[in-house]
Amino acid sequence: MEEVKKKRMLSGIQPSGDLHLGNYLGAIKNWADRVDEYECFYFMADLHTITVRQDPAELRRRSINQLAQYIACGLDPEKNVLFLQSHVPAHSQLAWVLSCYTMFGELSRMTQFKDKSAKYSDNINSGLFTYPVLMAADILLYQADYVPVGEDQKQHVELCRDIAQRFNSVYGDVFKVPEPLINKVGARIYGLTTPGAKMSKSVPDGCVFLMDSPDDIRRKFKRAVTDSDRENCVRFDKENKPGVANLMNIYSTLTGKTMEQIEAEFAGQGYGSFKPAVGEAVIEAMRPIREEAERLIKDKAYLDDVYRKGAEAASYVAGKTLRKVYKKVGFYQL
């Protein structure tokens, strides 16, 4: 029987902060679960991070620590291609070509550019502006079918599709036109102290980092915001009790229990027992991840080897696309 070729999935995360429970439940855990179905490429987008100023030592530390954390979360390097963007020069090379097929007006409309140029008004560099072109290169080099991203990145993937279609209309079918895969709404985790906003590293008090100690996690859950109606009852009501709903969502995702089962489990007990119980469930879920990541971080030779093999596998695929593009646009071949 003929073997069916797996569809290809690709995504990147900027190594611009430590990974948290939102990243894990909203993204990485789902990636790890998809490995048998798809051929998967995941990379650390270090080239993208320097669109805002980075401390070089911190960037270096995060680029390797994040790999350890990805592996510890279940992204097996034997089954997924894991690599660092700057190790594969084809990303920068294709980005230049694509920048000549991307319109100034298109880039001006990107909401991330507008947000970031307001936030970093003293450093509106051209990399911040052309960020989506590099992202399009990341995706198109691998002929990816699907790109799992958060809602905020959808506009960039759509621009990538437009660039691919524009290029293809001139030169024939060079690029696969990718589809964005947007995380389900249920996968959105909110901050423990700010249930109206997503869990984010910029609010560290309400953010559970994968590398937090059990004591840190306990403390954060103790301080979690529940609701203001003083009902003190564990009930799933997103509208009126967003804090409780968020904790229930976390608990449900980790234990597999339904909202009804959780309501029954804590009936008559109030938040005093519920909050620590969610904290303990998170501690237990994070423990093996943290311990494995700590072990891997000490094994730099192994991590370097993963990056080396990842870059090799990625370069092979990316190189094929880049050569085709160079030929199509008319660069003289030796």
Based on CB atoms, which residue is closest to ligand LTN, 110 or 303? 110
Applying CB under 6 A, which residues contact ligand LTN?
10-14, 45, 48, 135, 138-139, 147, 149, 153
The greatest distance separating any two alpha carbons of the chain, rounded to the nearest whole angstrom, comes to 77
119 is catalytic: no
Spatial distance between the Cα atoms of 195 and 181, rounded to a whole number of angstroms: 25
- Name, in order, each residue with C-beta under 8 angstroms of 195's C-beta and a sequence gap of 6 or more: 225, 242, 243, 245, 246
Among 15, 22, 74, 195, binds ligand ATP (CB under 6 A): 22
| DSSP secondary structure letters along 111-155 | HHHHHHHHHTTT---HHHHHHHHHHHHHHHTTT-SEEEE-GGGHH
SS3 (DSSP) at 13: strand
Contacting ligand ATP within 187-246 (CB under 6 A)? 187-189, 198-202
Spatial distance between the Cα atoms of 164 and 174, rounded to a whole number of angstroms: 8
29 is catalytic: no
Residue 149 as a binder of ligand ATP (CB under 6 A): the answer is: yes
Single out the catalytic residue among 7, 201, 320, 328. Answer: 201
Binding window for ligand ATP (CB under 6 A); candidates: 16-24, 57-65, 90-98, 319-327: 16-24
What mask of x and - would describe binding to ligand ATP in positions 267 to 306, judged by CB under 6 A? Answer: ----------------------------------------
Output the smallest distance, CB 315 to ligand LTN, in A: 17
Of 241, 299, 294, 308, nearest to 271 by C-alpha is 241
Contact yes or no for 248/262 (Cβ under 8 A): yes
Sign of CA dihedral 17, 23, 29, 32: negative
Output the smallest distance, CB 324 to ligand LTN, in A: 20
Active centre residues (catalytic): 116, 198, 201
Residues that bind ligand ATP (CB under 6 A): 13-14, 17, 22-23, 26-27, 149-150, 183, 187-189, 198-202
